[in-house]
Amino acid sequence: MFRLLCSFLLGSAAVLGFAPFSCWPIVFFSLVGFLLLISSSFHKNVFLLGLFYGLGYFGFGVGWIQVSVHQFGIPSYFFSYGVTTLLVIFLSSYVGFFAILLRLLLNTGFHLAIAGPVLWLAIEYGRSYLFTGFPWLMLGYSQIDGPLSSYIPIIGSMGCSFLVVLVSCLIVTCIRSGRLPSIYRLGALVGIFVLGLALRFYETTESRGSPLDVTLVQGAVPQEIKWHPNIRQPSIERYRSISADHWDSDIIIWPETAIPAFRNEVREELRELGSLASKTDTNFLLGIPRISNESGLKYNSIVSIGDQEQVYDKRHLVPFGEYLPAVSYLSWLFDYLDIPMSEFSSGSASQTLLEFPSYKIGASICYESVFPDLINRKAAESDFLVNLSNDAWFGDSLGPHQHLQIARTRALENGRYLVRATNNGLTAIINHKGDVLKQAAQFVPTYLRGDIQPKTGATFYTRLGDRPLMYLAGFLLMFNFFFRSDKRSYRSGSYPYN
């Protein structure tokens, strides 16, 4: 039981590496402790060790989901905490399987510094895609302010996770070897960090044209009243009022579902805004749901209004929030929950980029920013990235801070400026290095105005994505399979660390 408690506490400590705490070194301390527990426990306890590490990691790290389930679902703490607990247990099971598979590979002669990073990569990949994916709290995100962040434009956030686990495994091999660390281990550890620091000076993309003057508008309309019919017009007027002094900007952006109505319901208001944008020669983007005239399907969209109207429809929807999986079996649940705007369809994968005179925009909406393949698929063709979001669902919790950290990683991966307009924060302007240049205060109606520099060219990660990393992981696993150490005994605690 003591080991399980230690594992839980180590998992909880790892969350301090993520925003808003951003203490990136603590992630290595957490993983080293966890790996030492795995390597010194009997087989029957290993899955539980991983499960308890995950309970601390995800319980503390994504427990904020309870806020939205309670406030905007069924207002029962029994239900909201129950649903959140089930999600945390499900996510924790990934870590449990990581622990038991790692012990099995070590027992058959695999090297910790190969088996550990490859298996962690596998569980992060699984979390990203199984059951529509929930790739939150990837270890690589915790390093956005650390020396390993320089690898992100080359191998992406999952590649950075791979390096975090590799470094932790090398530290464990030094501890478990029982003698002075070999020059090879120390050389690898030092080399990883030194190269990371050196890569900070490497520019992956080039500037294109002059900087653009961008204004992001944050209306801070409370989520619990946002969709009430009586709030629609006051919401529009609030956004118009905040924007009034900024029509001399190159671009004005309103966040996801800034107008709480379908596009066809507010034609006159949109016509007035479009006329104003045309007169001032301002490019104007806003988030608004729409109904397709051809199919009648509903979309969560970004609309460009002015001389040239364009549309981007959200592609990766939030299950149980924007659409209902297995609708024929669970439609009664949505009828009971009565969640506003929860019957959306996914946008086409072949959508063209939003385009202004001389510039192209890689657009995404809210949750899409956590899926790197969705962003980098169009990043090479774009001059900068835009993400419209609504984190009001999660109140004053860790969620919005973690979401901003993820957006910073997308900017760094693709070497592009990213502007993030949100309903109540965290609205921010992020440069191509993933640094937050400006950030608006949370929960207040305000604006954020600043310059962004369009970029051209493509990072290594933009061009190739995660494929090289997956090939490398497969090669390392096969190489170690054919050149394994002798099989060791579980009970002896002797594993191939050398």
Which of the residues 124, 256, 322, 413 is marked catalytic?
256
Q: Exposure pattern of 347-382 as b/e (b: 16+ CB <10 Å)?
A: beeeeebbbbeebbbbbbbbbbbbbbebbbebbbeb
C-alpha–C-alpha distance, residues 222 and 424, integer Å: 8
* Distance separating the N- and C-terminal Cα atoms of the chain: 30
74-80 long-range contacts (CB < 8 A, ≥24 apart) are 74/336, 74/337
Q: Which amino acid is at 19?
A: A
Strand spans (E) along 233-352: 251-253, 283-291, 298-305, 310-313
Which of the residues 160, 366, 378, 413 is marked catalytic?
366
Which of the residues 124, 226, 298, 314 is marked catalytic?
314
Q: DSSP 3-state assignment of 113?
A: helix
| β-sheet with 446-452: strand ranges across | 310-313, 298-305, 283-291, 251-253, 212-218, 446-452
- The answer for 209, left when phi > 0, alpha when psi is -120 to 50, beta otherwise, is left
19 is written with which tokens? Answer: 């925003």
Instruction: Classify residue 303 as exposed, middle or buried by CB count within 10 Å of its CB (0-12, 13-18, 19+).
Output: buried
Q: How is residue 306 annotated by DSSP?
A: S
Q: Does the annotation mark 256 as catalytic?
A: yes
- The answer for 458, left when phi > 0, alpha when psi is -120 to 50, beta otherwise, is beta
In contact, 336 and 72? CB cutoff 8 Å = no
Catalytic residues: 256, 314, 366
